[in-house]
Amino acid sequence: MSNFLKIFWNVLLLTFLALGWKWADILYQAKILNDNERIWFLSIVTFILFLQTFYRQIPNPSNLKSIESRRIIIEQSLKDLTNKYYVSLGSFSNYSSNQPKPVIRVNLMLPTRKLKGLLGTYLRIYYYYCPDGIMYSEDEILNKWGKKDGTSGWAWSHKNMMGFYDSIRPELKLPANRIPKKNRLAVQDINSIISVPIRNDNEIVGVLNIDSKSNIDDTLFTNDKIYQLIYAYCSALGGHCFENGVEG
Report pLDDT for 45.
Answer: 79
At 111, the pLDDT band (50, 70, 90 cuts) reads very high
Selected residue with higher pLDDT from 210 and 203: 210
User: How large a percentage of the chain has pLDDT more than 90?
Assistant: 53
Beta bridge partners of 157: none
Integer Cα distance of 150 and 187 in angstroms: 10
Average pLDDT, the chain: 87
- The domain ranges of the chain are 3-57, 64-247
- The verdict on pTM exceeding 0.85 is no
Q: Of 115, 183, 171, which is closest to residue 145 (Cα–Cα)?
A: 183
Which pLDDT value is given to residue 176? 64
Which of helix, strand or coil describes residue 67?
Answer: helix
- Please count the CA atoms within 13 angstroms of the CA of 20 that sit on its side-chain side: 18
Q: How confident is the model at residue 214 (pLDDT cuts 50, 70, 90)?
A: very high
pLDDT in tens, 21-75: 787 788 878 888 888 888 888 888 788 777 777 666 767 888 989 999 999 999 9
Digit-coded pLDDT (tens) for 185-205: 888 999 999 999 999 888 899
**Per-residue model confidence (pLDDT) at position 23:** 78
Which pLDDT score is estimated for 178? 78
The pLDDT of residue 2: 58
| Local confidence band at 156 (pLDDT 50, 70, 90 cut-offs) | very high
- Is a pLDDT exceeding 90 seen at residue 215? yes
d(CA 198, CA 240): 10
Residue 96 has pLDDT above 70, yes or no: no
Phi first, then psi: give them for residue 36, nearest 5 degrees.
Answer: -65, -40
pLDDT 10s digits, 162-180: 899 999 998 898 776 678 8
The domain made up of 64-247 has a fold known as: Beta-Lactamase (3.30.450)
Statement: residue 1 has pLDDT above 60: no
Question: How many other C-beta atoms are found inside a 10 Å radius of the C-beta of residue 12?
Answer: 10
Q: Are 165 and 176 in contact (CB under 8 A)?
A: yes
